Chains A and B, each alone.
Chain A
């Protein structure tokens, strides 16, 4: 995928719609990232951390049992096996190393499901930085395990009780923190969202998923997959895996939570520093998303996804909570892998569309593992 315009636009989407206070920090961050990304020493430092600390490369798993049941060839990119349990660590290690290089000693982050918060707390512990994580108090309740993990890692967790009390409001509060602390603090955004350069920078830091998967697919099958599927909240795991296949013939499919479908139910808007598809009312008030998955409970989407959709290169499909619950259990029983609820959205779409996908090779980005969701699913399933 290409670099955005100098103004941070992917087509008409993106930009830098933040308070004036943050503009110099965004400009400084862009310059620092460009310089670091072109510096072989920085790339080596990050690659070493991804390999020796995070456990990359992540494997590509062929799901023989589920493939047979669905009548297609299902491959999983196993981001669930990374240290901290999701793809979030790829982005966070890059941003934390960059923040240290910029002389910042404190990281602030928003989190929905807690995976990005845990990853940020982890990187902060590793690099000896302070860490503050904002999390909607609805999510604090349903992801109690991750809250405790963040605290164990030495982070401060601040429950957010404004608005919908979920990811959207955690982003607001993290932005407010950053407005007050910008001189010492790096805002470690967890997805391909926010003001330029974040959507581009986070995609570049996540493209390791797509680069590895492309090589692994070709080694394993001798070809590119027919379809690449990933769940989308802000859209970082999808951007990461799509970036490895955007120049192939593979069909790219993002799956949104039906209750948080920015593309499915939104129109272009501006919030959290970016112009992108957004669920909003007729007056531009942002609507509350509702999803079983805290990580996809977000009314917006990263601007590059809006552009991929508007340009026709990718499609975005909504799946319901009920379909997700089925897919969550299906993968556990057939393959012995308990997925996070977020990538269960991608699996749910594959399951629903199996007849149409018959005989095709389908690559799903299994962006995280389900340990964090087990307590919630005990309630849902009445276990």
Chain B
């Protein structure tokens, strides 16, 4: 079953969606994914670390650097995903250069071979996404598109039309990282997208804790938890990730009661 089908079914059954992000190759990353799956994650986003992550703030930058220093490559991260067997769909997030270096078609096939459902490439906007999307479609990989608060209204339907899996609503103007409160733009962005698409709308970037996630899912179909998860993995290991995912799960479930 595709990522989009899984997310739609669960959403349509009244569930709010939770997608933790884990940097692949970081110490304990596979156990962290298993812990997240066991504690209520609906799917997981695995970062293939890149040397120049311009959409990421300090926490994920540091995680990427650590993973690269520990020898992470697209090949061994994908091999790790293939052996994961977490029981939930996996979306890969990486920047475009590792994809381009391998070649669009070869990279897409390597994702499919690893059992990956979807890809998120944050520096590949709509206008540049053609060659990758063609290769991904052919390999059965769903390409998640991002929508940002700066987009004029006319742009959103075009982004949603190309989105597979889900639409990634960028919650604020800025890079990934934890903030003290949820930006108003996160709710606005989710509302604007919900008005134009039936594809699941998941808010990421700046949704920083269980309370913020609960507010976000009043409008959005779900949330991505990135820096908050990665920081816990670096500070407390996989168990800390499991506990945190359980906490967020409980908070967003509370919103659907």
Interface residues of A (CB under 8 A from B): 7, 15-25, 162-163, 168-169, 172, 175-176, 179-183, 267-273, 275, 278, 280, 282-286
Tell me how far the C-beta of A306 lies from the nearest C-beta in chain B, rounded to whole angstroms: 14
Q: Does B235 reach chain A (CB closer than 8 Å)?
A: no
Known: A17-B128, A19-B122, A271-B97. A285 touches B50 (CB 8 A): yes
User: Which residues of B sit under 8 angstroms from A169, Cβ to Cβ?
Assistant: 52
Q: Do A19 and B148 touch (CB < 8 A)?
A: yes
Beyond A162-B61, A270-B123, A283-B73, is A20–B170 a contact (Cβ under 8 Å)? yes
- Chain B residues near A267: list those with CB within 8 A: 101
Please give the distance in Å from B160's CB to the nearest CB on chain A.
Answer: 12
Chain B residues, Cβ within 8 Å of A278: 97
B123-153 contacts to A, CB under 8 A, are 123-128, 145-152
Asked whether A25 lies within 8 Å of B99 as measured between CB atoms, the reply is no
Residues of A within 8 A of B250 (CB): none
Q: Which of B's residues lie within 8 Å of A, judged by CB?
A: 50-55, 57, 61, 65, 68, 73-75, 96-102, 122-128, 145-152, 155, 159, 170, 173-175
B68 adjacent to A180 (CB under 8 Å): no
9 pairs of A and B residues whose beta carbons are closest in the complex: A284-B101, A180-B174, A284-B98, A21-B148, A284-B97, A285-B51, A20-B148, A20-B146, A286-B51
Which of chain B's residues have a CB closer than 8 A to the CB of A181?
Answer: 173
The residues of A that contact B149 with a CB separation of less than 8 Å are 21
Interfacial chain B residues near A22, Cβ < 8 Å = 150
Within the complex, the shortest CB–CB distance from B25 to chain A, in Å, comes to 12
Contact A182 B51 (CB under 8 A): no
Cβ B98 vs Cβ A24 within 8 A: no
* Known A176-B57, A270-B96: A23·B125 in contact at CB below 8 Å: yes
CB distance from B187 to the nearest CB of A (A): 17
CB of B125 within 8 A of CB of A16, answer: yes
Smallest CB gap from B151: residue in A: A24
Starting from the known contacts A17-B128, A280-B97, 6 additional A-B residue pairs (CB-CB under 8 Å) come to A16-B128, A20-B147, A20-B170, A23-B148, A270-B97, A272-B52
Which of B57, B75, B99, B123 lies in contact with A19, CB distance below 8 A?
Answer: B123
Chain B residue contacts of A275, Cβ below 8 A: 100
Note all chain A residues with C-beta closer than 8 A to B51: 163, 285-286
Enumerate 21 A-B pairs (CB-CB under 8 Å) in ascending A order. A16-B125, A18-B123, A18-B125, A19-B54, A19-B148, A20-B126, A23-B125, A23-B148, A24-B150, A24-B155, A176-B55, A180-B173, A270-B97, A271-B52, A275-B100, A278-B97, A283-B73, A284-B101, A285-B50, A286-B52, A286-B97
Expressed in whole angstroms, the Cα–Cα distance for A127 and B173 within the complex equals 26
CB distance A284 to B52 under 8 Å?
Answer: no
| C-alpha gap A271/B175 in the complex (Å) | 17
Question: Are A284's CB and B124's CB within 8 A?
Answer: no
Complex interface: chain B residues within 8 A of A280 (CB): 97, 101
Residues on A with C-beta less than 8 A from B57 are 176
Q: Say yes or no: A179 contacts B97, CB within 8 Å.
A: no
Question: Using Cβ atoms and an 8 Å threshold, which residues of chain B touch A20?
Answer: 122, 125-126, 145-148, 150-151, 159, 170
A11 to chain B, nearest CB (A): 16
Whole-angstrom distance from the CB of B21 to the nearest CB of chain A? Answer: 16
A284 to B97 CA separation, bound complex (whole angstroms):
6
| Cα distance, A196 to B221, chains bound together (Å) | 34
- Interface residue from B61, B124, B145, B155 paired with A17 (Cβ < 8 Å): B124
Which residue of A has the minimal Cβ distance to B127? A16
Q: How far is the CA of A285 from the CA of B98 in the complex (A)?
A: 7
A271 contacts which chain B residues (CB < 8 A)?
Answer: 52, 97
Shortest distance from the beta carbon of B31 to any chain A beta carbon, whole Å: 24
Tell me which residues across on chain A come within 8 A of B148, comparing CB atoms.
Answer: 19-21, 23
Which residues of B have CB within 8 Å of A286?
Answer: 51-52, 97
Q: A270-B97, A280-B101 are in contact. Are A172 and B150 (CB under 8 A)?
A: no
Which residue from A16, A179, A272, A283 sits with its C-beta under 8 Å from B55?
A179
- Given A176, A179, A182, A284, which contacts B99 in the complex, CB threshold below 8 Å? A284
Which chain B residues lie closer than 8 Å to A17 at the CB level?
96, 123-125, 128
B174 contacts A282, CB within 8 Å?
no
With A19-B125, A162-B65 given, is the CB distance from A269 to B150 under 8 Å? no
Residues in B whose Cβ lies below 8 Å from that of A25: 150
Residues of A within 8 A of B145 (CB): 20
> CA–CA, A34 to B96, complex, Å?
29
Contact partners of A270 in chain B: CB under 8 A: 96-97, 100, 123
- Cα–Cα distance between A162 and B128 once the two chains are bound (Å): 27
- B126 CB to closest chain A CB (Å) equals 8
Q: How far is the CA of A20 from the CA of B147 in the complex (A)?
A: 6
Residue of A nearest to B168 (CB): A20
Determine how close the nearest CB of chain A comes to the CB of B230; give it in whole angstroms: 16
A residues near B101, Cβ cutoff 8 Å: 267, 269, 280, 282-284
A25 to B155, CA, bound (A): 13
Rounded to whole angstroms, the CA-CA distance of A272 and B51 in the bound complex is 12
Query: Which of B55, B74, B147, B152 has the most chain A CB atoms closer than 10 A to its own CB?
Result: B55
B52-A19 in contact (CB<8A): no
Instruction: State A270–B98 Cα separation when bound (angstroms).
Output: 9
Q: Tell me the complex Cα distance, A332–B165, Å.
A: 63
